[in-house]
């Protein structure tokens, strides 16, 4: 899990605008790693994470569209039923609200990357790392008696 820079690009809702954004990013050989698109009657909001935010920022600014930059949390999860529920429950138990989230399904090793907007990224990372350690410890403790019984 890591903190990532997300760009929110506010686009006029008409044909040709969205491909222009992707084409300009592609021309600069910048890879889009996560993307979500929301729309309303007047405009769309394109949220994207790229592999080189410093290079993408001036490109997006040159498109003459409103752009905001936000820190988000990217968490790699197993691509299985209940993985997102487990993640949300751990954050909820620590009183961390999730403003929004979206995910990809093409991460390495059958994983998924979940992008979360949370008010305190450092606290969320601390909670998730602690719960991951606790879960590992629990698995080890559960395995040891089984191995002992087999002897």
State residue 107's pLDDT score.
Answer: 67
Quickly name the fold that domain 2-150 has. VC0802-like (3.30.2130)
pLDDT digits (tens, 9 = 90+) for 107-128: 677 788 899 999 999 999 999 9
Q: What is the number of other CB atoms lying within 10 angstroms of the CB of residue 147?
A: 8
The pLDDT of residue 149 is above 50:
no
- 3-state DSSP call for residue 125? helix
> Could you tell me the pLDDT band of residue 79, with boundaries at 50, 70 and 90?
confident
Domains of the chain: which residue ranges? 2-150
pLDDT band with cut points at 50, 70 and 90 for residue 1: confident
First to last CA, the chain: 39
The H-assigned helical ranges of the chain are 17-27, 53-62, 83-93, 121-150
Residue 90 φ/ψ, nearest 5 degrees: -65, -40
Q: Tens digits of per-residue pLDDT, 83-112? A: 999 999 999 999 999 999 998 866 677 788
Using N-to-C axis directions, what is the helix angle for 83-93 and 121-150, rounded to 10°? 120
pLDDT above 70 covers what percent of the chain?
85
* Cα–Cα distance, 64 to 70 (Å, whole number): 19
| pLDDT of 80 above 90 | no
What are the pLDDT digits (tens) for 35-68?
999 987 778 999 999 999 999 999 999 999 999 9
pLDDT digits (tens, 9 = 90+) for 18-35: 999 999 999 999 999 999
Buried b (16+ CB within 10 A) or exposed e, 92-113: eeeebebeebbbbeebeeebbb
The Cα–Cα gap between 56 and 60 comes to 6
């Amino acid at each position: 899990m890591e903190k990532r820079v997300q760009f929110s690009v506010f686009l006029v809702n008409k044909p040709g605008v969205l491909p222009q954004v992707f084409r300009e990013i592609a021309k600069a050989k910048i890879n889009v790693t996560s993307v979500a698109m929301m729309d309303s009657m007047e405009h769309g909001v394109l949220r994207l994470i790229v592999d080189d935010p410093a290079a993408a920022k001036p490109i997006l600014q040159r498109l003459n569209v409103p752009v905001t930059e936000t820190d988000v949390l990217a968490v790699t999860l197993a691509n299985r039923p209940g993985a997102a529920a487990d993640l949300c429950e751990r954050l909820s138990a620590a009183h961390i609200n999730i403003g929004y989230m979206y995910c990809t399904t093409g991460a390495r090793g059958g994983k998924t990357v979940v992008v979360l907007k949370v008010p305190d990224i450092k606290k969320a990372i601390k909670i998730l790392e602690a719960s991951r350690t606790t879960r590992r410890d629990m698995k080890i403790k559960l395995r040891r008696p089984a191995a002992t019984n087999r002897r």
